[in-house]
Every structure is written in C-alpha cells, then in structure tokens.
C-alpha cells in the first residue's frame, strides 16, 4: 500500500510516498535461568522529567482479535505510544534503536537517521526504513501486534547500504525503551508515578522489565486501572541488558554515547526508567523484539516469550488476515468495479480501507462501542508524564477518551462502510454507559462512561447526536431504549430550550433535529408523542414561527399520524404567533 511517509532529519520533515516489504528469519529463544547474583542498583535516581510522546503518528495498529488488548503507534520513525490493557493507558514514550561500531560513533534513530514509512494493504502493519548515509547502513523494521496476546512485535534487519563498503559484522545493535508504564513516567522533582526497572533472568537470557503498580491518579472515576508490567524480549539470546534512569550515567544511551559500551544495571527503583538491551543479530539475519505485557513480572515475561515462539513470518500473515476478513465484510467504496477500474482507483480504495480500519482500531476492547477521539495526544511531547495533580499522579487521557461529538463522526464512517454492529455498539455505549441522570451526556468520558477529569460544561450536540445515532442505526424502534434513554435525552434538550431566551441558530438546528428524529423514529406520530409535542411546543402558551414550520414539516414527513396529533396540528395553526429572535446568547 502506498502511504504518506515522513523523511526525518533533525529539524526537517519532508513528505514522500513509499512501498516496502521486508522479510527475515526470526531466531528462537530458550535456555536455563542464569545463576542468581547480587542486584546492581543503577545510580542517578530519579532521572530527568518524563514526557509523553508525539501526536503526529506515522502508523497505528492493533489486532482485530478482542483478546489482544494492545495497540501500537509509530511517531518520528520509532515505536511511540503503546496502549495496554486499555486504549487510554499509554506505557511507552519511545522504543528505538542505537547503533555503534564500538569505537568511533553511536547513532540514535530519532537523532541521527532519516526514515521512510510504508504500510501493508490494510494499513495496520507498518514498515519503517531508517537510514544512516554517513555510516553506510539501514534498519528495516516491521511493526504488528500478536493476535493471540498482549505483545507488540517488531522485526528488524540491519544491512549495509549498497556501495557503502560498511561491514555490518562490526556494528552493534541496541534497543532502548523509554518508559512511562501505566500512564505515568516519574523523574524530575515531582517523580510522580515513578516506574521501576529490573532485569529478569528466568528465561536464561536477560530481559528488561519496567513496571508500575500504581492505580491511583487524579482521574477518580477511572476504576479499571490495574498494575502494568512490560517485558522487552528478543528472538536471540542477548549478551547484555540494563535498566537505569533517563539522562543519568545509568542510562544506556548516555553510556553508549560516552564509551560505545554498555555497563549493565539490573535494578532501578522508582523513577524515569530506560531499558537498554544488546540485540545484535547474526550477519544477514533479522531480530524480532517482543514487548509483552502482564499484571505481574512473570506474566509479562511469559507473554513476550510465548509471542517469540512463533516465527514472525507466521504471526504477521495471521495479523493481516484478521484485517482482511474485516475489510471483506465492509461495503466496497465504489460498488462492483471492473479490473481496469479497480487498478485505476487503487489509491482511493486503499485509503478507504485504511480510514475504515483506523476507525475500527480506535474501539476499546474491554468496553464495546467506546471509540476514542484519537489514538494520539496533541502536544503530548510537551506534557509532563511525572507530575502531580490534586495530590495524585496526573492522568493524561487527552483524546483517548470518548466525546459524543467525535464519536458521531466515527459513527457516520461506520454507517458508510457498512459496519452496523460497531455503529450500534457506539450508540449503546453513549446511552448505556455515558448518559447522566438528567438525560444529558458529559462533554467527554472515560472508557467506562464516567466523566473524565477535564470534562465540564453543557454542550448540546453531545446530547443531541446520540438521538440521531439511534435513529440512523435502526435502534429508534427499541421500546426500552426509547423509554429509558432517548426520551430522557430529548426531555433534557426540551427543558434547556425552554430556559433559553435567545437561542443560538446552531442550537435551534440541533434541537429540532433531535426532536424530529425522536418523534419520527418509527415513521409515525402516535398519541403519546403528540402529547409530548404539546408539552414541548406549547409550554409558553404561544407558538413561534419556527415551531409552526416544524410542526408542518413533521406532518409532511410522518407516514402515519394519530387523531391526537391531527388535533394538535389544527389547534397549533390557530394559535397566536410570538416569534422569538435568535441570537448568540443563552
């Protein structure tokens, strides 16, 4: 699939299009546990302040399988936010490579390499080609998630640039993880939500593990937080791995920049943690990294190890097959096309499925229908990940929360592409989980539907859109939904409408649209709906021009009207008019 790719140099961003397919041989892990020794505690606690990562994502992806509750993103050409076990829980700032010849240079991907990005036909598997022209090598990395478990997999091949004369046998490849496990990263003067790093040796090879057991933040309604551990394993037996504090002498990057060698530490409690691992592949081979998650150290290590037991070349097509099956069930963008027309419109077709898949990938896998506004956090790189808010570590949900307004936009995409199941789940989420006791919807909520810390204010479209969604998704005729949720939402809007002396035209439009969709959900106006309309429109004993027009339109659009509505209509046409001037107040 041709995709927009970012060519990155320090201070320069260029757009390009590229297509790349990588291949390689994954090596197996195994062996007995290493002998126990005294832990070497890293110096430099708590490390520099941690920050969240870039919003400008090159790629996003997750498996279609609900049992795999992990999402990856790529930004700046390297692994960026990784969400697990919920779509709002970010654990990674970056996971990127360091390359050194051991004597004259050390290169960091985001600092010293340019890159291009390409995607597979589904848009959910991402391949990054990072190049260092000065030192004559390239790294080609493909990112996916394991459909069977909570693991991000990345397969990488290190090779010399043609004609460079570089011998890759003399190069050392390290993976460096900059963590903010469980949504906080510690470091700095606050060191809020500090992580802990250890090196696990239970598999016979050193495996860095970074974790946070803190489940309390300023998001008091976020009752689904759990301890989160992540283990960085590789398809080869690593000769060295270390954990340390970011920006200090124990940070692997600091060491490799200074001496081109890694001095390992196997314990780094409570701070801004980095983990560095030697993952140099044998000449001509590839290496697969597995970032596995769990609720304990042992389960995270086991998750990563199990994902590596299956060759990447087997997991990758299984991952893609899930998305291809999903796409096969969608409505084709141009209907039935000839082979020539399909070739001509291939770019548009691929972008259609990419868009559809990004919407589907934005659904949480614990709370069906919870489609977040974005898989990225605007200005994330400038937001501290280790500070306090109201005495607790700060929760940064950003756009990884549910806004009814944004959800409606995703919902319309689902209707267009034919995914009615997810469209209805999104509608039910708003009514079943997000709706407040007074019938309204909050500005934004957490994945469980409870108000987010930064919610506030009454935004009318947030309550109006769910009514429209119920009608458009075919749920308007559900009696229980109408009685318990749609009617209370409409009543909230009506009561608010009564109190507004100078309604904004946009409010008027949304109000009448919501009332119309509510009343005409089944195509007819019965006696109960006629009584409700009388309450809505005649509350002040007068009839405005727009209300008269609205009744006339309802009569014309209804397939069947009750005698009660006809009586209401006749009475309304005789009532005195009292037009209300629309304005921006209210």
pLDDT, tens digit, 9 for 90 and up, residues 201-213: 999 999 999 999 9
Instruction: State whether 279 and 425 are in the same domain.
Output: no
Give percent above pLDDT 70 in the chain: 91
Q: What is the pLDDT of residues 352-404, one digit of tens each?
A: 999 999 999 999 999 999 999 999 998 899 999 999 999 999 999 999 999 99
Q: Given pLDDT bands bounded at 50, 70 and 90, which one contains residue 310? A: very high
The CATH number linked to 111 is 2.70.98.10
335 pLDDT band, cuts 50/70/90, is confident
Distant-in-sequence, close-in-space partners of 110: CB < 8 Å, separation ≥ 6: 8, 76, 77, 78, 94, 96
Q: Indicate whether 428 belongs to any domain.
A: yes
Residues 168 and 285 in one domain: yes
Which of 489, 504, 522 finishes a domain?
A: 522
Q: Which of 316, 290, 249, 382 lies closest to 70, judged by CA?
A: 290
Residues in the chain: 586
pLDDT exceeds 70 at position 24: no
Return the beta strands (E) in 459-548 as ranges: 524-525
Residues 117, 195: one domain?
Answer: yes
From the centroid of its chain, how far is CA 288? 23
- How many separate domains does the chain show? 2
Place of tokens 């769990």: 294
Whether residue 394 is found in the same domain as residue 510: yes
**CA–CA distance, 230 with 277 (Å, rounded to integer):** 14
Q: Is residue 70 part of a domain?
A: no
- 132 located within any domain: yes
Segments in 278-395 forming alpha helices (H): 297-309, 312-328, 339-344, 346-361
pLDDT at 576 over 60: yes
* 540-569 b/e (C-beta count within 10 Å ≥ 16 → b): eeebbeebbebbeebeeebeebbebbeebb
Mean pLDDT of 21-28: 30
pLDDT the model gives residue 63: 98
Nearest to 73 by CA among 361, 418, 475: 361
pLDDT band at 585 (very low <50, low <70, confident <90, very high): very low
In which domain, by residue range, is 126 found? 1-27+99-215+226-310
Is 572 part of a structural domain of the chain? no
How buried is 81 (Cβ within 10 angstroms: 0-12 exposed, 13-18 middle, 19+ buried)? buried
Count CA within 13 A, CB hemisphere, residue 390. Answer: 9
Query: DSSP letters of 410-427?
Result: HHHHHHHHT-HHHHHHHH
**Residue finishing a domain among 310, 328, 345:** 310
Does 369 reside within a domain?
yes
Model-wide pTM > 0.85: yes
Round the average pLDDT of the chain to a whole number and report it: 90
CA 418 to chain centre: 22
* Weakest mean pLDDT among 242-251, 404-413, 515-524: 515-524
Quickly count: other Cβ atoms within 10 Å of residue 62's Cβ.
29
* Same domain (yes/no): 286, 431: no
The token pair that represents 388 in the structure block: 């306090």
Q: What is the pLDDT confidence band of residue 481, given thresholds at 50, 70 and 90?
A: very high
Q: How far apart are the first and last CA of the chain?
A: 50
Q: What is the pLDDT of residue 179?
A: 98
Distances (CA, A) of 60 to 179, 361, 573: 18, 8, 56
> Is 159 in contact with 168 (CB distance < 8 Å)?
yes
Any bridge partners for residue 79, and if so which? 74, 95
Strand 560-561 versus strand 524-525 pairing type:
parallel
For 170, counting Cβ atoms within 10 Å of its Cβ (0-12 exposed, 13-18 middle, 19+ buried), the class is: exposed
Of 496, 522, 548, which residue constitutes the final position of a domain? Answer: 522
Handedness of CA 353, 71, 256, 101 (dihedral sign): negative
Average of per-residue pLDDT across 61-78? 98
CA distance 427 to 417: 16
- Do 301 and 368 lie in a common domain? no
The predicted pLDDT at position 337 comes to 81
Are 304 and 426 in a shared domain?
no
Same domain, 306 and 401: no
Q: If pLDDT is split at 50, 70 and 90, which confidence band does 578 have?
A: low
Could you tell me the CATH number of the domain that includes residue 465? 1.50.10.10
Are both 366 and 430 inside the same structural domain? yes
**Is 528 inside any structural domain?**
no
Asked whether the beta carbons of 178 and 208 are under 8 A apart, the reply is no
Q: Is residue 265 part of a domain?
A: yes
Give CA–CA dist 277/450, Å, rounded: 40
Q: Is residue 181 part of a domain?
A: yes
Fill in the DSSP letter of residue 568: H
Asked whether residue 382 falls in the same domain as residue 468, the answer is yes
Tell me, yes or no, whether 275 and 370 share the same domain: no
For residue 146, is pLDDT > 70?
yes
Contact in structure between 17 and 5 (CB atoms under 8 Å): yes
pLDDT tens across 214-249, in order?
999 999 999 999 999 999 999 999 999 999 999 999
Based on the domain organization, do 398 and 249 belong to the same domain? no
Q: How confident is the model at residue 547 (pLDDT cuts 50, 70, 90)?
A: confident
């Amino acid at each position: 699939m041709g995709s927009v790719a970012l060519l990155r140099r320090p201070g320069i961003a260029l757009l390009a299009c590229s297509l790349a397919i990588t291949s390689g041989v994954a090596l197996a892990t195994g062996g007995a546990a290493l002998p126990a020794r005294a832990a070497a505690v890293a110096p430099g606690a708590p490390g520099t302040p941690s920050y969240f990562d870039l919003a400008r994502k090159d790629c996003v992806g997750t498996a279609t399988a609900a049992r795999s509750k992990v999402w990856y993103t790529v930004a700046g050409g390297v692994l960026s936010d990784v969400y697990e076990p919920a779509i709002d829980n970010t654990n990674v700032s970056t996971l990127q490579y360091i390359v050194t010849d051991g004597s004259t240079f050390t290169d960091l991907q985001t600092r010293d390499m340019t890159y291009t990005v390409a995607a597979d036909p589904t848009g959910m598997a991402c391949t990054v080609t990072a190049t260092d022209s000065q030192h004559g090598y390239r790294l080609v990395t493909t990112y996916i998630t394991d459909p069977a478990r909570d693991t991000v997999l990345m397969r990488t091949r290190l090779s010399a640039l043609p004609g460079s004369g570089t011998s890759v046998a003399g190069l050392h490849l390290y993976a460096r993880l900059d963590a903010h496990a469980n949504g906080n990263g510690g470091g700095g003067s606050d060191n809020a939500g500090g992580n802990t790093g250890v090196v696990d040796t239970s598999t016979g090879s050193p495996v860095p593990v970074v974790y946070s057991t803190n489940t309390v933040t300023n998001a008091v309604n976020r009752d689904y937080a759990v301890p989160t551990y992540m283990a960085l394993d590789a398809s080869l037996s690593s000769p060295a791995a270390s954990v340390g504090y970011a920006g200090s002498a124990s940070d692997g990057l600091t060491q490799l920049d200074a001496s081109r060698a890694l001095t390992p530490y196997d314990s780094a409690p409570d701070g801004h943690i980095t983990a560095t691992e030697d993952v140099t592949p044998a000449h001509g081979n590839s290496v697969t990294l597995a970032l596995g998650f769990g609720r304990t150290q042992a389960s995270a290590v086991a998750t990563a190890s199990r994902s590596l037991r299956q060759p990447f070349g087997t997991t990758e097509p299984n991952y893609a097959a899930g998305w291809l099956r999903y796409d096969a069930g969608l409505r084709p963008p141009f209907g039935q096309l000839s082979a020539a027309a399909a070739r001509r419109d291939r770019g548009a077709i691929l972008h259609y499925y990419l868009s559809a898949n990004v919407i589907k990938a934005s659904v949480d896998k614990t709370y069906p229908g919870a489609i977040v506004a974005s898989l990225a956090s605007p200005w994330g790189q400038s937001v501290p990940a280790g500070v306090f808010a109201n005495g607790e570590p700060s929760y940064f949900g950003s756009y990884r929360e549910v806004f009814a307004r944004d959800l409606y936009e995703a919902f319309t995409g689902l209707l267009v592409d034919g995914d009615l199941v997810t469209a209805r789940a999104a509608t039910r989420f708003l009514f079943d989980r997000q709706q407040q006791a007074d019938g309204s919807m909050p500005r934004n909520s957490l994945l469980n539907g409870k108000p987010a810390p930064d919610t506030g204010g009454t935004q009318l479209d947030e309550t109006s859109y769910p009514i429209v969604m119920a009608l458009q998704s075919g749920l308007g005729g559900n009696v229980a939904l109408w009685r318990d949720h749609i009617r209370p939402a409409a009543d909230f809007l009506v009561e608010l409408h009564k109190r507004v002396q100078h309604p904004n035209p946009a409010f008027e439009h949304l109000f009448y649209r919501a009332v119309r969709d509510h009343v005409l959900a089944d195509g007819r106006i019965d006696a109960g709906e006629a009584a409700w309309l009388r309450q809505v429109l005649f509350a002040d004993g007068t009839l405005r021009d727009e209300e008269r027009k609205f009744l006339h339109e309802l009569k014309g659009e209804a397939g069947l009207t009750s005698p009660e509505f006809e009586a209401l209509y006749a009475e309304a046409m005789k009532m005195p008019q009292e037009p209300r001037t629309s304005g921006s107040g209210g």
